Amino acid sequence: MKPRLNDLVATAKVVSIPLRTKFRGLTERELLVFEGPNGWSEWAAFTEYDDEEAATWLQAAIEWGFEDLPEPVRKHVPVNAILPAVATEEVAKVLGRAGKFSTVKVKVADAKQTAADDLARILEVKQLYPDTKLRLDANGGFTVSQALDLITEIENNAIDLEFFEQPVAAIAELAELRIEISKRGQKTLVAADESVRRSSDPLAVELAGAADLLVLKSAPLGGIKSALAVANSSKLKICASSAMQSSIGLAAELHFASCLSELNYDAGLGTGYLFGGDLTADRLVPENGVLELRRPEINTSSLEILKAEDHRYDWWVARLERCSRILGLES
């Protein structure tokens, strides 16, 4: 079922959810939700994204709310904890909220921090959780040289990385980095995340030799079916992940992970503890490092409590109208 624009606007709510810890420079997560035949759906394209990119996220939200969905092959998905680019003294407090976990993803390359800050945070994690698997995520924030320097420091400290997610921005830079890692006899695997946003991107990454694995999220790829098509066509291993969504949006990413033929890595879905609020009474947070497949019901009182200011609602609805036109929705 393809909705009309008016169907989306009729139930659209815009909320601003506070974050317990600054994440990607954000202190709150602003997003729009609407109701479809399947239940509530979330459109959480970051505000800096242009309309073309945001429209792909809207297509994913429409799929989750209005379309038939693939059948999952599992009911439980192991997830990693995530550590934002916090100061070293905050590491224990932030990860303490995550509960039980066997893998931590550490954010690095924050514009307001140094390489020494990144290394100190990584060393603190390993000291507190010596048996935990460790992966890094730079969101494309490093140069090749900077990424190599950090990898060298980590290996010099006898730390094994599960993988390094999007250390540099461009596919060509990822390929260059992998060549340099190999030349130096280093072991770090490189994962592509932001470099995979269209169905053709995985092939481009593979042909360039730019990654050892792909980190996939269904929202940026236009939905669960599109993301599964990418996963099934790639020769690389897949790690399912998410993009700081509320439990409404996170449920769609969980469904995607539950549909993958195999889980090669703990999924990046354990982000619920980073939020200071949510849109459901029964938040989608892991128990003993695992998420159970379910679709949480929206809490209408939360919609009111977390309601964004009127001018932000107007901004999102105007964006919704533009992106709906890109998708060819009727009014």
| Percentage of the chain modeled with pLDDT above 70 | 100
pLDDT digits (tens, 9 = 90+) for 97-120: 999 999 999 999 999 999 999 999
What pLDDT does residue 257 have? 98
Contact 303, 279 (CB under 8 A): yes
pLDDT at residue 7 above 90? yes
3-state SS, residue 120: helix
Please work out, in degrees rounded to the nearest 5, the angle formed at the alpha carbon of residue 41 by the alpha carbons of 289 and 60: 90
Question: What is the separation of C-alpha 34 from the centre of its chain, rounded to a whole number of angstroms?
Answer: 21
Contact present, 136 and 108 (Cβ < 8 Å): yes
The pLDDT value given to residue 25: 81
Q: Is residue 59 predicted with pLDDT exceeding 90?
A: yes
Domains of the chain: 5-70+300-327 (3.30.390.10), 76-292 (3.20.20.120)
Cα→Cα distances 286→124, 247, 282, Å = 23, 11, 12
- For 138, residues 6+ apart whose C-beta sits below 8 A from its C-beta are 107, 108, 109, 147, 164, 165, 166, 167, 168
- pLDDT, mean over the chain: 96
Between residues 80 and 2, the one the model is more confident about? 80
- DSSP letter at 251? H
Statement: residue 206 has pLDDT above 80: yes
Span 154-181, pLDDT tens digits:
999 999 999 999 999 999 999 999 999 9
Give per-residue pLDDT as tens, 310-327.
999 999 999 999 999 999
Please give the positions annotated as active site: 107, 217
This prediction's pTM = 0.96
**CA-based nearest residue to 273, from 135, 95, 122, 63:** 95
- pLDDT (mean) for 32-47: 98
C-alpha gyration radius of the chain:
19
**DSSP-based helix, strand, coil % in the chain, nearest 5:** 40, 20, 40
